[in-house]
Structure 1
Amino acid sequence: MNYLRVSAAALLALALIAPNTNAAEAKPNPVKSGEPAARKGKWETLFDGKTLTGWHIYLKPGQPVTEKWVVDDNAIHLTQGGIGDLVTDKEYGDFELEIEWKIAEGGNSGIIFHVNEDPKFKATYQTGPEMQVLDNERHPDAKQGRDGNRTAGSLYDLQKPVTPMAAKPAGEWNKARLVISKGKAEQYLNGKKTAEYQTSGPEWDKMVAESKFKGWEGFGKYSAGHLALQDHGNKVWFRNIRIREL
């Protein structure tokens, strides 16, 4: 008699538990099986603060940089123009770049990416889009173009800034960030987003068609290439440069 009572109690308990167990199993799993978590590359320092190792003058690979681009107080310093843009030895496709820059009064420069170092292109900007480096207060470029699309931090001559006037005055350090991943780019200056755009496709083609780069053979056509620091003839400084491939 006791045995039967225990068995009945046990069966009743199982009957009550079973629906809850099945319901738990029926809940969707938020983690997709077989799909690894996204991994980003390790940060790579592009400037050691002492030498220009890893860099060369555009179209002069393998030749040491001996003048005008110098190392000054842990920064890359263009002392005077006329030598050419400084480019990385290595090429990059999808990446996250962090870099600090300081421009002289009345100065103009740029950070150019996806540069194709083919001799048929005489300058880095013939292929690579540019994140503008500028003294907004004194350089005329700030008032040219359309809606501020030539001001510091902008995608030069292609898109008006998402956040206008994010730059600090000439002589002060600015922190820039550029992220390119899966056909999309974002630019930041001093923690503020200044540009967001597709790097190819109809939206990109429309921007190019409405810019000074309309009809340029190789402009914005490459999904990977060198990074360049522009020699625009004015004094400029760059430091704390690092990158990670995405």
Structure 2
Amino acid sequence: MKFLRLSVGLLALALTVNVQADNLPKKGKWESLFDGKDLKGWHTYLKAGEPASDKWVVDDGAIHLKEGRAGDLVTDKEYGDFELELEWKIEEGGNSGVIYHVHEDPQFKATYRTGPEMQVLDNERHPDAKQGRDGNRTAGALYDLQKPITMNTAKPAGEWNKARLIVHNGKAEQYLNGKKTAEYPTSGPEWDKMVSESKFKGWEGFGKYSTGHIALQDHGNKVWFRNIRIREL
């Protein structure tokens, strides 16, 4: 009987482990989104098939926006659930962002009309850092939607920051320099409430898409991105 009970117990444990394993995200291989040499795999928003603006350049192994009015740079490919890693730095007083689940359609004139944004900012000098509510426009934050979980994670302007974004199974997490800055659902009642209390209230299409492009924002300031890689979950 002891042997039988032990066998049943081991079987139950094995089934539990298998169930838990089935619930874990199935991670794909890391894919580089930028080889440090050219902008292959990227295009200007709403200009697919055309060369990117010459204001987006490759500079010392990084994608560099050297001046504004270039338009946002977006991936050719669309992504749903994924893990994204990249490094960014911003000029003094600068503003930019990483935007995801962007729906590319002429009815939406900008990437931020549909995609949530992980903020890129010089917190010390740009006024956005003191606007919004409770720091929800500071670097690393889910822009204008959520107070950062960890404040003051960004390095000073001109220094490299490491960002990480995970989107999986209706939830998202954001990290900056190893610290979690945001965690939130990407749909449902809680998400809808967040949107209704933000500048995006009433915006048709905002946050409504579960797949889309990833965008690097042209906010008119010099910004750099490098070591950009992604894996689908």
Aligned counterparts of 1:153 and 1:94: Cα–Cα separation in 2 = 19
> Which residue in the other structure is 1:9 paired with?
none
Q: What's the counterpart of residue 31 of structure 1?
A: 14
2:200 maps to what in 1?
213
Change over 3 Å in CA distance of 1:66–1:156 after alignment to 2 = closer
TM-score (norm 2): 0.95
Which amino acid letter does the alignment assign opposite residue 65 of structure 1?
A
Deviation readout 1:12-66 (Å, 9 max, x if unpaired): xxxxxxx332222231432228766542111000000000000000000010124
CA distance in 1, matches of 2:147, 2:205: 22
Residue 137 of structure 1 corresponds to which residue in structure 2? 124
Q: Counterpart in 2 of 1:185?
A: 172
- Which amino acid letter does the alignment assign opposite residue 40 of structure 1? K
Question: Which one-letter code corresponds to 2:13 in the other structure?
Answer: P
Structure 2 residue matching 1:48: 3-state secondary structure: coil
1:20 corresponds in structure 2 to 2
Q: Which residue of 2 aligns with 1:230?
A: 217
Root mean square deviation, CA, Å: 1.3
Counterpart position of 1:116: 103
Q: Distance in 1 between matches of 2:14 and 2:121?
A: 46
**Which residue number in structure 2 is paired with residue 153 of structure 1?**
140
Deviating beyond 6 angstroms after TM superposition, the runs of 4 or more aligned structure 1 residues are none
Deviations 1:77-98 (A, max 9, x none): 0000001000000000000000
Bigger-Rg structure (1/2): 1
DSSP-derived class of the 2:15 partner? coil
Q: Secondary structure at the match of 1:76?
A: strand
With structure 1 as the length reference, what TM-score do the two structures score?
Answer: 0.90
Whether the 8 Å CA contact 2:101–2:210 is kept in 1: the answer is yes
Aligned residue in 1 for 2:230: 243
2:191 is the counterpart of 1:204: yes
Q: Distance in 2 between matches of 1:24 and 1:207?
A: 50
Separation (CA, whole Å) in 1 of partners of 2:4 and 2:99? 58
Q: Per-residue CA shift, 1:217-238, capped at 9, x if unaligned?
A: 0100000000000000000000
CA distance in 1, matches of 2:118, 2:53: 26
| Cα offsets for 1:179-229 (capped at 9, x unmatched) | 000000000000000000000000000000000000000100000000000
Amino acid at match of 1:203: E
- Residue identity over aligned pairs, in percent, reads 76
How many pairs are equivalent? 228
Q: Which runs of 5+ in 2 are unaligned?
A: none
**Structure 1: gaps of 5 or more residues:** 1-18
For 2:52 and 2:162, locate their aligned partners in 1 and report how far apart those are by CA, in whole Å.
25
